[in-house]
Structure 1
Amino acid sequence: MKKLALAVAVLSITVTSIAQDKTVQELRNEAGKTIKKDESDTTVKTWKTGGMFNLTLGQTSLTNWAAGGDQFSFNGNGLFNAFAFYKKGRHSWDNSIDLELGYVNTTSLGTRKTNDRIDGTSKYGYQLFDHVFLTGLLNFRTQFTDGYNYPNDTTKIKTSTFLAPAYLILSAGLDWKPTPNFSLFVSPFTSRWTIVKDDTLSSKGSYGVDTGKTVRNELGAYLTANYYKEVIKGLTYKAKLDLFSNYKHNPQNIDLFMTNLLTMAVYKGFGFTIGCDLIYDDDVKIFGKNKNGARMQVRQYVGIAYQRKF
Structure 2
Amino acid sequence: MKYNIFFLFSFIVQFSIAQPDSLYIKKRLIIKSPTPTWTNTNKLSLDLNEVAFVNWNAGGSNSISAIVSQVSSLDYTFKNFKWANAFNARYGINQQESEVLKKTDDLLEISSSVGYKRSDASKWYYSARLTFSTQFANGYSYPDTSNPISKFMAPGYLFFGGGMEYGKDIEKLSLYASPLTFKSTYVLDQDLANAGSFGVEPAVYDDDGNVLIPGEKVREELGILVTNYYEVDVAKNVLLKSTANFYTDYLNSFGNIDVDWQLLIDFKVNNFIKASLGSQLKYDNDVKNLIVIDEDADEYGQSGAKVQWKQLLGIGFVVDF
Q: Structure 1 length as normaliser, TM-score?
A: 0.80
Q: Look up the match of 2:226.
A: 223
1:255 counterpart = 2:258: yes
Task: Select the residue among 281, 285, 294 that pairs with 1:282.
Answer: 285
Aligned-residue offset at 1:65: 2.8
Aligned partners of 1:66 and 1:41: how far apart in 2?
74
TM-fit CA distance, 1:42: 8.0
Partner of 1:134: 126
For residues 64-86 of structure 1, the C-alpha deviation after alignment (integer angstroms, 9 at most, x for no partner) is: 3333332x111111121111122
Q: What residue number does 2:141 align with?
A: 149
Quote the Cα distance in structure 2 between the aligned partners of 1:101 and 1:269.
Answer: 20
Structure 1's 154 and 213: CA in aligned 2 closer, same or farther, altered over 3 A?
closer
Moved over 6 A (4+): none
Q: Distance in 2 between matches of 1:45 and 1:148?
A: 47
AA in 2 matched with 1:298: W
Corresponding residue number in structure 2 for 1:76? 66
Task: Tell me which residue corresponds to 2:209.
Answer: none
Structure-2 change in CA distance of 1:155 and 1:54 (3 Å): closer
| Kept after mapping to 1: 8 A contact 2:34/2:79 | no
CA contact 2:94–2:104 (8 Å) conserved in 1:
yes
Q: 2:186 aligns with which of 187, 195, 202?
A: 195
Give, in whole Å, the separation in 2 of the partners of 1:256 and 1:216: 18
Partner of 1:240: 243
Higher normalized strand content (fraction of residues) = 1
C-alpha deviations, 1:106-149, integer Å up to 9, x for none? 01432110111111111111213511111111110111110111
Flag the 1:83–1:230 CA change in 2: closer, same or farther, 3 A. farther
Matched with 2:318 is: 307
1:186 to 177, 192, 213: 177
Question: Any conservation in 2 of the 1:94–1:124 contact (CA below 8 Å)?
Answer: yes
Do residues 160 (structure 1) and 171 (structure 2) align? no
Once the two structures are TM-superposed, the CA of residue 276 in structure 1 deviates from its matched residue by 0.9
Aligned residue pairs, count: 268
Alignment equivalent of 2:164, drawn from 164, 174, 177: 174
Distance 1:281 1:118 in 2: 19
- Pair 1:287–1:278, CA change in 2 (3 A): farther
One-letter amino acid matched to 2:315? I
Superposed displacement of residue 242, structure 1: 1.5
Secondary structure of 2:140's counterpart equals: strand
Q: Are the equivalent residues in 2 in contact too, given 1:270–1:306 (CA < 8 A)?
A: yes
C-alpha RMSD over aligned residues: 2.1
Q: 2:47 aligns with which of 44, 49, 56?
A: 56
Which secondary structure state, in structure 1, belongs to the residue aligned with residue 70 of structure 2? strand
Which residues of structure 1 form unaligned runs of 5+?
1-39
CA contact (8 A) 2:34 2:78 kept: no
Give me the whole-angstrom Cα distance separating, in 2, the residues matched to 1:97 and 1:192: 19
Please say if residues 287 and 294 of structure 1, whose CA atoms lie closer than 8 Å, have aligned partners that are also in contact: no
- Give the Cα separation in 1 of the matches to 2:187 and 2:274: 38
Q: Say yes or no: does 1:109 pair with 2:111.
A: no
Partner secondary structure for residue 149 of structure 1 = coil
CA distance in structure 2 between the partners assigned to 1:188 and 1:140 by the alignment? 19
The verdict on how the C-alpha distance between 1:156 and 1:241 changes in structure 2, with shifts beyond 3 A counting, is farther
Moved more, 116-125 or 265-274: 265-274
Identity of aligned residues (%): 30
Does the Cα contact within 8 Å between 1:52 and 1:307 map onto a contact in 2? Answer: yes
- Residues 1:171 and 1:284: Cα distance change in structure 2 (over 3 Å): same
Q: Is the 8 A contact 1:136 1:173 kept in 2?
A: yes
Asked whether the equivalents of residues 244 and 255 of structure 1 are also in contact (C-alpha less than 8 Å), the reply is yes
Residue aligned with 2:221, SS: strand
TM-score by length of 2: 0.77
